[in-house]
Homo-oligomer: A and B are copies of this chain.
């Protein structure tokens, strides 16, 4: 049985200010909730329609489908909604390959990029403070559990990158990633969907990288940032 205050709390967590206030975020669906349960994330509450989660008895509220749909962000809720505590990020290993995002706005793009980091073994993702919140429910769903294997930190990108010795920015006019010797460590920077890397960050880049455009027309305006991330991470790791 769901209480009114539980419903109100969970719905409020769609908004960043309430996630910060309560230090909680929402995860939905059997598979993704299970990934968070198997990780270091700390469970707060779990609301489920079946007995699959009986081992979490202390935190478990059994609900029916009608109740679940009141707290779900899905049009067809998938058996479970859970809240987890927002963790403190771990320290960043700057001697590995780090991905930095400068002002990514779209939750689907950020979720996909987290999933790509997980696939390519990028353990540290740093985001400018104006990048969309990684605990936004759309980001959590798009990353499909990859949050649990990628250390995500929000930082003042300008100050932080000022002291990094190998910053590689991605631009339309950089050196081809296919022709450049790509290092095993350093920071790869991807910019905002519409405007690319901001000017004050651009000034800090040691290398300007680019994904060459093929085809006889060469009119495609740009690649989606998540696709650019996919191509660049593949090229660094191959």
Contacts and interface: CB of A to CB of B under 8 A. Distances in A.
Interface of A: 35, 112, 115-116, 118-123, 144-146, 149, 178, 211, 213-217, 219-221, 223-224, 226-228, 230-231, 234-235, 237-238
The 3 A-B pairs at the shortest CB distance, nearest first, are namely A121-B215, A121-B214, A227-B230
Nearest to A123: B215
A149 B219 contact: yes
Contacts of A221: 144-145
A210 to B, nearest CB: 12
30 contacts: A35-B219, A116-B223, A116-B227, A118-B215, A118-B217, A118-B219, A118-B220, A119-B213, A119-B215, A119-B220, A119-B223, A120-B214, A121-B215, A122-B215, A144-B221, A145-B221, A146-B220, A149-B215, A149-B217, A149-B220, A178-B238, A211-B234, A226-B227, A227-B227, A227-B230, A230-B230, A231-B231, A231-B234, A234-B234, A235-B238
Contacts of A149: 215, 217, 219-220
A181 to B, nearest CB: 14
Contacts of A178: 238
Contact of A119 (B115, B119, B122, B214): B214
A149 to B, nearest CB: 5
A230 B214 CA distance: 13
Contacts of A216: 121
B118 A224 contact: no
Nearest to A234: B231
A119 B221 CA distance: 8
